[in-house]
Amino acid sequence: MTSFFEFARASLPALLEGTTVTLQIWVLCMSGGTILGLLLALGRVYGNKAIYALSTGYVELFRGTPMLVQMFFIYLGLPDIGIVLTAVVAASIAIGLNTAAYQAEYFRGAIQSIKAGQMVAARSIGMSKAQAILYIILPQALRIVIPQWSNEAILELKFTSIAFAIGVPELMARAEAIGFRTFRYSEAFVVVALIYLALTTICAQLLDMLANKVRIPGLGMRG
């Protein structure tokens, strides 16, 4: 019976492979999700009635249903209408669509927290609404939203673990496989728990550093 450390060391290669998949999914879903979230927020703040209704409907739907259900829906349900996706793609899309809904709310809050005078001043020097949004509103909103965006990013990192339920060979799935093979479940999951802890801590630090780099005095950042 090997010691815990030996067990951990032996499992590491497989677990690191899983971590790579985890990170792949994470980067994909965060990039897509952030862009979509921003568009949804703009739709809710500046859109006409139809756009507002659509964006709001989307946000309510994805925030009101569990991540796992959304994943099953996309991976297992879409084939019913002919859309067949690999597990990795389905997971990335599901998590991406989900995070977009939450980010839409954060972005909306940030945009609406900017004083009305900023938009008025931009219009008064002759900028069109689109120019004002692009050059004046968004640069400020993106900075304001950083603490919440970082939180969301860390959350999604942990959510990637749900993908194991549809067979994606990410970190959690590998742990289950090892546990199943060796019957040393508790140790396998403890190792994985520690890996996730390390990942989330490192990411939190990196995001903090990023936040400090783009700081501007006087641009209120709510923690």
Partner 1 sequence: MNLVLEVEDIHKSYGDLEVLRGISFGITQGETKVLIGPSGTGKSTLLRCINGLTPPDKGKVWLDGIEVTDPQTNINAIRSRIGFVFQDFNLFTHLPALDNVRIGLMRVRGMKKKEATELAMEELRRVGLADKANAYPAELSGGQQQRVSIARALAMDPKLILFDEPTSALDPELIGEVLEVMIDLAKGGMTMLVVSHEMGFARSVADEIIFIEGGKIIEEGPPRQLFASPKHKRTKEFLHKITELYGEYREGRS
Partner 2 sequence: MIWRILIREMPYLLDGTLVALKLLGSFISLGFVIGIVLAVMEVYGNRFFLILALMIERFFRGVPAVVLLFLFFYGLSHIYKLSSFAAATLALGLRSAAYQSQIFRGAMQAIPSGQMMAAQAIGMSKFKAIRHIIIPQAMRLAIGPWSNEFASELKDTSLAYTIGVVELLRRGKYIVSYTHGNTLIVFGFISIIYLILTRVGNMMIYHFEDRLWVPGFERRGG
Tell me which residues touch partner 2 (CB under 8 A).
Answer: 60-61, 63-70, 72-73, 76-81, 158-162, 164-165, 172, 175-176, 179, 185-186, 189-190, 192-193, 196-197, 200-201
Identify the CA nearest to 88 among candidates 31, 158, 160: 160
Q: 136 or 191, CB closer to partner 1?
A: 136
| Least distance between partner 1 and beta carbon 117 (Å) | 4
| Least distance between partner 1 and beta carbon 126 (Å) | 3
d(CA 46, CA 30): 24
| Least distance between partner 1 and beta carbon 37 (Å) | 20
What is the pattern of x (binds partner 1, CB under 8 A) and - over residues 86-125?
A: -----------------------------x-xx-xxxxxx
User: Roughly what angle, to the nearest 10 degrees, separates helices 4-46 and 87-112?
Assistant: 50
Which residues does 98 contact at the CB level (< 8 Å), separation at least 6?
Answer: 33, 62, 67, 70, 159
Provide long-range contacts, Cβ within 8 A and 24+ apart, for 53-58. Answer: 55/104, 58/100, 58/101, 58/104
Q: Is residue 140 a contact residue for partner 1 (CB under 8 A)?
A: yes
Task: Report how far apart, in Å, the C-alpha atoms of 53 and of each of 40, 62, 83, 158 are.
Answer: 11, 14, 26, 31
Q: Which does 93 bind (CB under 5 to 8 A by kind): partner 1, partner 2, none?
A: none
Q: Is residue 135 a contact residue for partner 1 (CB under 8 A)?
A: yes
Residues lying near partner 1 in the complex (CB under 8 A) are found at: 115, 117-118, 120-128, 131, 135-136, 139-140, 143, 216-219
